[in-house]
Structure 1
Amino acid sequence: MTLPSNVNIAEVCPRDGFQSLPEKIPPNEKIVIINRLMECGFPQMEVTSFVHPKAVPQMSDAQEVLNGINRKQGVTLRALVPNLKGLERAIASNVDKIKLMLSATDSHSLYNANATTMEAMDKFIPLVERAKESDTKVTGSISVAFGCPYEGDVPIERHLKICQRYQELGIHEISLADTTGMAHPVLVKKVIASIRDSYPEFHFSLHLHNTRGMAFANAVAGLEEGIIDFDSSVGGLGGCPYAPNASGNIASEDLIHGFEEMGVKTGINLDAVMDVAKYLEDIFPKYSDSFLLKAGKSKSLVKAPGKQKKIGEN
């Protein structure tokens, strides 16, 4: 197995994790958590989304949070943006990079964006033009890329059509999201290989959910196909509010630990990440989903118990 020697992991809990919680987190609490995460060594963080406050109330404080955090050199701050108004707010908040919201299927797109997939892409045109006037980088996404809860499998031809449209818009960095955890390693490899064969100049990343316990296996499948950029969420928090049973992202600490055990370097301080994960677990015990918080690191040894006394011995 030939794997990359290094990967880049983007922390998305401040956006994907917090938006899935039923209760709002006060802005000052978000700022504390984001500041702690920035010290862990993540090269990129998705800190918020500039959606309408009524659509996702947990993100209504986007500008306040961005204005309050301690920005760290070398950490790219990313935000999800659905429309031109959201883009203007992102630009005013000095976001480094925005990610456009797009669904692979019309059914999910109509529920998520009130437009079909191609109609949603047409609406990207003014956003791309406006972003060119600023220093904000625009990236794309394909949600439910490995399976839609309403339509099932997503044909490769559908992905190719979406990528063609992204190419026409001048967008070559695309996040492939397993929004509802329907992916498996064979499918991940097939989709990535097929798309990259047609669009070798594109840079793809993986955004994996652990809904059915397949996320790390899917991450390894992505590694085998040359993917070096991954999203994860500390504590395993997360879930799309517009997809049924879309439980959390793969936990950052699980992904980091797994890659490092395989000899794939992340450049991230795992102990510091676990400290934040434990902090979040104390606050939101019902929503934390992390193997490392349960079992600890595999190299963390414990004192041997000594000789076992057999049952029945005198």
Structure 2
Amino acid sequence: MNIKTENSEKAIKLVECPRDAMQGLHDFVPTEIKVQYLNLLLKVGFDTLDFGSFVSPKAIPQMRDTEAVLAQLDLPSKTKLLAIVANLKGVENAVKHAEISYLGFPFSISETFQQRNTNSSIAQSLNTVEEMLELCQKHNKEAVVYLSMGFGNPYGDEWSTDIVTHWAHQLVEKGVKIISVADTVGVSTPEKITTILPPLVQQFPAIEFGLHLHSTPQQRLEKIEAAFSAGCTRMDSALKGFGGCPMAADDLTGNIATEDVIYYLNGQGTKLGLDLEKWQEAMLFSSRIFH
């Protein structure tokens, strides 16, 4: 779904992230339950659905049925599908599926987290991004690269806004067109958001910049407000704020709640074009997955 705010010339894309919400759950969600949930979300009218991942089932067992889920989705839909990959094998598996529009890759600017999350160094991951871009071009996909730990990290790795800009520049040089600055552990603040994002938008006007924020419930709305006032054109969120990163070992923070994003944008007079009845159905159905 593309929407325009009164203070922005660029369309805003809302990305619903059930994959991120589900991936850390301890109990495996049956494939048929995932399918029912995703099919409801596909009818709401989001721009993109981050629906699954092509990663090692040992690393993320919850997503081991992504291909089986994909085969049962109600497609085509005006909502585009995004799948997460963590290495070249995952890329090669994902590009085989014509139904998938976007491949998302977590590129951490924290060396410690890149090793933890993808078992590779930042330098190796930059090579993976290059290879992913080539395969995406060949198979008519688009790459979304997440600047993971983009607002700081809990490991003591060096972080600054200059480091964020440096890696954004490196990715743009490689040919990345969509970059999402990802919080991962909830250390973003409105001040950091409004400091980091506007210079990136100004420096790289042709690039689509998004935010993937994690937050405690108390801080969600102030982060959402900061994001859109800072020029965010792509916002990741998950229904009820479920989820977080299982590799980051932080139980206190979840995703930005989609209903808070909708509430904020409605308050700005933004025409969302969502099917709110289907949205309410998805909200009710979610209790079958998230207990």
TM-score (norm 1): 0.84
Aligned residue in 2 for 1:36: 40
Residue 223 of structure 2 aligns with an amino acid whose one-letter code is: N
- Report which stretch shifted further, 157-166 or 28-37: 157-166
Q: Decide whether the 8 Å contact of 1:253 with 1:270 is kept in 2.
A: no
Alignment of 1:90-169 (within 5 A): 90-94=94-98, 95-151=100-156, 154-169=159-174
Distance 1:60 1:84, change over 3 A: same
Distance 1:275 1:210, change over 3 A: farther
Root-mean-square deviation (CA, aligned residues, Å) is: 2.0
> Does residue 265 of structure 1 match 2:253?
no
TM-superposed deviation, 1:268:
1.7
Residue 114 of structure 2 aligns with an amino acid whose one-letter code is: S
Distance 1:23 1:129, change over 3 A: same
Alignment of 1:225-240 (within 5 A): 225-240=230-245
TM-superposed deviation, 1:212:
6.0
Distance 1:264 1:58, change over 3 A: same
Unaligned 5+ runs, structure 1:
286-314
Residue 234 of structure 2 aligns with an amino acid whose one-letter code is: D
CA distance in 2, matches of 1:269, 1:45: 15
Alignment of 1:254-293 (within 5 A): 254-285=260-291
Q: Deviations over 1:18-73 (max 9, x none)?
A: 10211111111111111111111112111101001111000111111111111133
Aligned residue in 1 for 2:72: 68
Q: Decide whether the 8 Å contact of 1:182 with 1:212 is kept in 2.
A: no
> Does residue 191 of structure 1 match 2:202?
no
Q: Decide whether the 8 Å contact of 1:160 with 1:195 is kept in 2.
A: yes
Q: Decide whether the 8 Å contact of 2:144 with 2:177 is kept in 1.
A: yes
Q: Decide whether the 8 Å contact of 2:111 with 2:157 is kept in 1.
A: no
Task: Give 3-state SS (helix, strand or coil) of 2:180's partner.
Answer: strand
Structure having the higher Rg: 1
TM-superposed deviation, 1:248:
1.7
TM-superposed deviation, 1:215:
2.5
CA distance in 2, matches of 1:24, 1:262: 39
- Alignment coverage as a number of residue pairs: 284
Residue 202 of structure 1 aligns with an amino acid whose one-letter code is: I
Distance 1:185 1:274, change over 3 A: same
TM-superposed deviation, 1:118:
2.8
